[in-house]
Amino acid sequence: MDSGSAANFAEMRTLGIEEEFFVVDGRGRPTAGTDELVYRRDPPEVLDGRLDHELFKFVIETQTPKIDRLEDARESLLAVRNALIDHAEAAGFRIAGAGLHPGAKWRELEHAEKERYRAQLDRIQYPQHRNTTAGLHVHVGVDDADKAVWIANEIRWHLPVMLALSANSPYWNGYDTGLQSARAKIFEALPNTGMPTDFDSYEEFAAFEETMLRTDSINDRGELWYDVRPHTELGTVEVRTPDGQADPDRVLAFVEYVHALVTDLAAKYEDGEPAYRHRRELLDENKWRAMRYGHDAAFIRRDREGEVGLGEVVERECERLGVSGIRDIYDAGSGAARQRRIRDEEGVDALYESLLLRRR
């Protein structure tokens, strides 16, 4: 992980999609399965080198190969997901997608043995011990390091919008939190998370990374878990905000939106447009509104002149950027609301079943 360099920012608009999922048993309950799936069985070819686990033995991560064109994202994503489903089923497991699994109780679940995670548990303690979260990370290639830092700065206002649309984690540790994305709040308890400040240049961001490494604040660059970051190893802007999703169409809507935002902001940077230089405190307020209210959130405007509802933002962004997926998500309703409705009307077994991935 110690290979950050400005030279890595060399390609524009390539894509990579990382998804975190839950390993569950035949009844949809969380179960320790990553030892079997990651270490004891050879995965399908498309997952070779692109399958890993997280802190808990029931959280597994996939990565797509580098995707050169947005048009190829669906095929690549579905190939990875279908391979994971088959790989899990061959070992007697199933795979579920959400920001938090409603049946996961962290005190009852096993932590991974991997040295990296053991070191994190030792350093971070309670906040990491309870971190049963799963998210979606979208990488978009950027061909200049300073440009990538500028884009990461400016994209921050849009992150609460994505979180509100993706909110899919009302339940944590067996109870209803009253939030739409409890995952975001649970994850923010870790160090080096949440909404980052802005940086004046790649040099300043790289110096920050080096300081964190040199002072043993982090063990590697991957432990900078902010909602967005210039990925100095891969040469991408990485957006890490959305909750995990079972529905691949929702994932692809966020991929489309992030790709369009990065492309648009890159053009603004090249044209010399001035930055907004958003205050992090106001962005934190918008993020809170997203995690608390989800689809019903209203955000402080970028010019600070009043508020704007999520639906209005979605319409404006679809028109401005020529995207449509986030409108489909908004019109379809909240994942968190869907989870609550299924649990109330059909019970927890139906809720767990609703989170399972299906071959597409």
d(CA 59, CA 167): 19
User: Which domains, ranges and CATH numbers included, belong to the chain?
Assistant: 6-354 (3.30.590.20)
d(CA 205, CA 74): 33
**pLDDT value of residue 2:** 58
Counting Cβ atoms within 10 Å, is residue 263 exposed (0-12), middle (13-18) or buried (19+)? Answer: middle
Q: Do residues 181 and 290 touch, judged by C-beta distance below 8 A?
A: yes
Phi and psi at residue 112, to the nearest 5°: -70, 155
Q: Model's pTM, two decimal places?
A: 0.97
d(CA 164, CA 196): 18
What is the tally of helices (H) and strands (E) in the chain? 14, 13
Specify the DSSP class assigned to residue 35. I
Closest by CA to 160, choosing from 330, 285, 319, 12, is 285
**pLDDT value of residue 59:** 98
Token output for 246: 């079972």
pLDDT tens by residue, the chain, 360 residues: 556 899 999 999 999 999 999 999 999 999 999 999 999 999 999 999 999 999 999 999 999 999 999 999 999 999 999 999 999 999 999 999 999 999 999 999 999 988 999 999 999 999 999 999 999 999 999 999 999 999 999 999 999 999 999 999 999 999 999 999 999 999 999 999 999 999 999 999 999 999 999 999 999 999 999 999 999 999 999 999 999 999 999 999 999 999 999 999 999 999 999 999 899 999 999 999 999 999 999 999 998 899 999 999 999 999 999 999 999 999 999 999 999 999 999 999 999 999 999 999
**pLDDT value of residue 4:** 87
d(CA 333, CA 166): 10
